Chain A
Amino acid sequence: MGNTSSMLTQYDIEEVQEHCNHAFSQQEIVSLYHRFCQLDRNSSGFITGDEFLSVPEFAVNPLSQRLLRMLDGLNFKEFVAFLSAFSPRISLQQKIEFLFKVYDFNSNGKVTFDDILSVLRDLTGSFISEQQRQEVITRVLEEAGYRRDSSLVLSDFMRILGSSQLKMEVEVPID
C-alpha cells in the first residue's frame, strides 16, 4: 500500500473505501491519510501508542488506554476501518457493534459484569469506590432484567441501545 510514500493512488483509495464499507468519501480518505502520516512520525506504517498519546486531547481521554489496545499496530486501511464507526454514513447497528467491541475486552463475544465494571472504572477513576461501582452496575442490570453473573452478547446490546439516540459522529476536515 505504500504507507511510506506520501502519495495515494486511486486504487489505494478505492481499496480503503471498500474495506471500510464506504463509510468515508474519497476526499475524507485522503485527509485521513495526511493525518495518519502526520501522526506516524517515524514513517513506520503504523501509529505507535506513544504517537497517539502525543495528541494531548487523546491522552486526557479516560478511555485512551482501552482504545490504544484496539488501535495498536493498525495500518492505514485498518485505521480507517476503525474510524468508520464514527462516520455519519454508518448505521446505528454498526455503531453499537463498535461499542460492544470496546467493552468486549478479550474479544470472546461476551460482555460480562467485569467488563462493564472495568469500563466504569476507567470512566470514574478514584471518585467512586469499587463497592459503589459494583452496586450501580448490579442495580441497573437487575432493573433491565439481567443477573449479575449473566453475560451480554451483541444482540443484547442491540436491544438495550437500539432505541437510544446514540450519537457517535466525527467530522473529517477536508482541506
Chain B
Amino acid sequence: MNQRVGTDSSPLRFAACESASIPLFATFIGARRRAPPARTHRQIGSQLVGRRILAAMGGLDSSSMETDLDRPNIEEYLTTETIREVPKKLHLSDLLDISPTLTEAAGAIVDDSFTRCFKSNSPEPWNWNIYLFPLWCLGVVVRYGILFPASFSWLVSLSNLISCMFCRVGVLALGWIVFFAAFLPVHFLIRGHDKWRRKIERKLVEMMCSVFVASWTGVIKYHGPRPSRRPQQVFVANHTSMIDFIILEQMTAFAVIMQKHPGWVGFIQKTILESVGCIWFNRTESKDREVVATKIREHTQGVDNNPLLIFPEGTCVNNHYTVMFKKGAFELGCAVCPVAIKYNKIFVDAFWNSKKQSFTTHLAQLMTSWAVVCDVWYLEPQYIRPGEIPIEFAERVRDMISVRAGLKKVPWDGYLKYFRPSPKLTERKQQIFAESVLKRLEEK
C-alpha cells in the first residue's frame, strides 16, 4: 500500500510528491488514491508548524481576498522534511518522470473531496415490491394531497380556510396573514417608541419562523443554553440550507448576514429582516469584504442589537462535511459561540443545492416530505487564545462543530464553488518543484 519506494527513492520524485499531494487532508479523508500514507501522518502533525512557518515567512498577505482561497492548502507543502532531504544527482529519468503530478491530476478526476461536499443524497427507492409500493402510494397521497393541498383558495371561503388550517400551506398562509396584520401596523405606526417596536417585531419574526417550521412539521431538538442578548458576541453555525436561519431564528431573534437574493426571498429580506438587523453582502464584489467587516464590528459593539449569526462557510454544504471557515467572524476580538446543526436524513435531505434548485422548489420539497428532523447544539462560547491567529481560531471552532454534529472536515474554501482556485496555489507547487530541481543540479 505504501508507495514510498525504498531507500534510494529520488528526492526529486519525493519533492514532486510533496508538491503534488494536495491536499493531503483529502487523501486522509476519502479522495482515494495511492499517495504515500506515511506522509499524511507527518503532514497532519506538522500542520500547525507549517502555519507558523507561513506566518513567519510573511509569504502571503493575510488581508487579501485571494489568501482565503489559498489558505487551506499552502501549509500542506511546507513540511520541514523537504528542506532536510539530501539531494541526489539529477538524471534524465528523474526529469522525465512526471508520474506523481499526473497521478494527482487523475486522482482529482476520479474522486475529490470538494465535490463530495455538495453532493445531494440520491433518494434510494425502497418501494419496488408488492407490499411497499401501495404504502408508498398512500404516502404520496397523504403528503401531496392532504399535507400540501395544491389549492390556495383559502381566500374564497371560510370553510376552506378551516379545512386548510390542518394543512401545511394553510398553516403557512394563515401565519403570513397574522404576521403581516401585526407587523405592518407595528412597523409603520409605532414610530416614537423604538424599543417597544423592536421588541414586538422581534417576537413577530420569531413567531413567523415557528410557523414556517410547523409548516414542514419540523421536529427540532435544541441542546445547550439558549443564546442570550449581550454585546461582544457572535454566533457561528454550519450551513446546509437557508432554513438553518429559520430554525435558529425560531428560538432567538438573530441578526444575520446574508447574500442578497432575487425574487420573493429578496423582498422578505428587505422588509422583514431589516427589523431584526441584517447585514448584506455580495459574493461577487471584491471590495465588499472590508465594508462587511466594518459593519459586523459595529454591530457586535452595539448594546441593543440582536445577537449576530454568521455562517462562516459562506455557502451551503450537504451536511456530511464542513468546508473551511472564513476568518471574518473570528477576528472581531469578541466571544464566538458555536452552534452545530445536524439534519436527520431519514426524513428529508435538507441540503439546498443552490445550483440545482431555486429556494422555492427547495421549500416545496420540504413541505411535501414527512418532516424536518434536526438537532441543534449550542456550544460553549470560545475566545481567541493568546498567540492564536484568527485562522487557527476558526479551525478550532470548526473542529468543535464538526465533532458535535458528526461532520467530516474538508480543507477547501466554499467559495471554490463560484470561483476558480487562486493561481498562487499552482505557483507554490511550481516553486517547490523548481527549488528541488535546482538543488539537485548543484550536486555532482
Contacts and interface: CB of A to CB of B under 8 A. Distances in A.
A83 B106 contact: yes
Interface stretch (B112-120, B137-145, B223-231, B259-267): B112-120
B187 to A, nearest CB: 43
Contact of B34 (A57, A143, A167): A167
Main secondary structure on A side of the interface with B = helix
A98 B101 CA distance: 13
A170 B107 contact: yes
A171 B34 contact: yes
Contacts of B102: 63, 67, 86, 98-99, 102, 168
Interface string B424-444: 011101110111011001000
Interface stretch (B86-94, B173-181, B391-399): B86-94
Interface string B62-94: 000000000001000000000000000011111
B98 A99 contact: yes
Interface string B1-29: 00101100100000010001011001000
Interface string B350-370: 000000000000000000000
Interface string A152-175: 000001001101111111111100
Contacts of A171: 32-34, 110
Interface string A87-101: 000000001001100
Given A59-B420, A60-B22, A165-B6, A123 B111 contact: no
A19 interface: no
A160 B93 contact: yes
Contact of A61 (B426, B431, B441): B426
A141 interface: yes
Given A127-B431, A164-B93, A57 B6 contact: no
Contacts of A98: 102
A4 B213 CA distance: 38
Given A56-B421, A165-B5, A61 B119 contact: no
A30 interface: no
A16 interface: no
Contacts of A140: 90-92, 94-95
A125 B425 CA distance: 12
A103 to B, nearest CB: 7
A143 B431 contact: no
A64 B102 CA distance: 9
B31 interface: yes
B97 A161 contact: yes
B72 to A, nearest CB: 10
A161 B433 CA distance: 20
A146 B441 CA distance: 18
Given A124-B433, A167-B34, A57 B26 contact: yes
Contact of A128 (B23, B26, B112, B438): B438
Contacts of B32: 171-173
Contacts of B426: 60-62, 64, 125
A99 B96 contact: yes
Q: Chain B interface residue count: which class?
A: 35 or more
A94 B401 CA distance: 47
B412 interface: yes
Interface string A112-125: 00001001100111
B103 interface: yes
Q: Chain A interface residue count: which class?
A: 35 or more
A58 B112 contact: yes
B99 interface: yes
Select the residue from A39, A57, A125 with max chain B CB neighbours within 10 A: A57
A141 B34 contact: no
B220 interface: no
A32 interface: yes
B400 interface: no
Given A53-B420, A61-B426, A170-B34, A127 B95 contact: no
Contacts of A167: 3, 5, 34, 99-100, 103
B108 interface: yes
A149 B93 CA distance: 18
Contacts of B100: 167
Nearest to B6: A165
B95 A137 contact: yes
B110 to A, nearest CB: 5
B55 interface: no
Given A116-B95, A125-B427, A167-B5, A56 B106 contact: no
A103 B97 CA distance: 11
B303 interface: no
A59 B417 CA distance: 12
A136 interface: yes
A35 B110 contact: yes
Contacts of B162: none
Contacts of A128: 434, 437-438
Closest 4 CB pairs of A and B: A125-B430, A127-B434, A57-B108, A124-B434
Given A83-B109, A103-B96, A127-B427, 12 more contacts: A32-B110, A39-B109, A57-B26, A57-B31, A60-B22, A61-B426, A63-B105, A119-B98, A140-B92, A143-B91, A161-B97, A173-B30
19 contacts: A53-B420, A55-B112, A57-B22, A60-B426, A71-B109, A85-B106, A99-B97, A99-B102, A120-B437, A123-B98, A141-B92, A163-B93, A164-B93, A165-B6, A165-B9, A170-B106, A170-B107, A172-B110, A173-B110
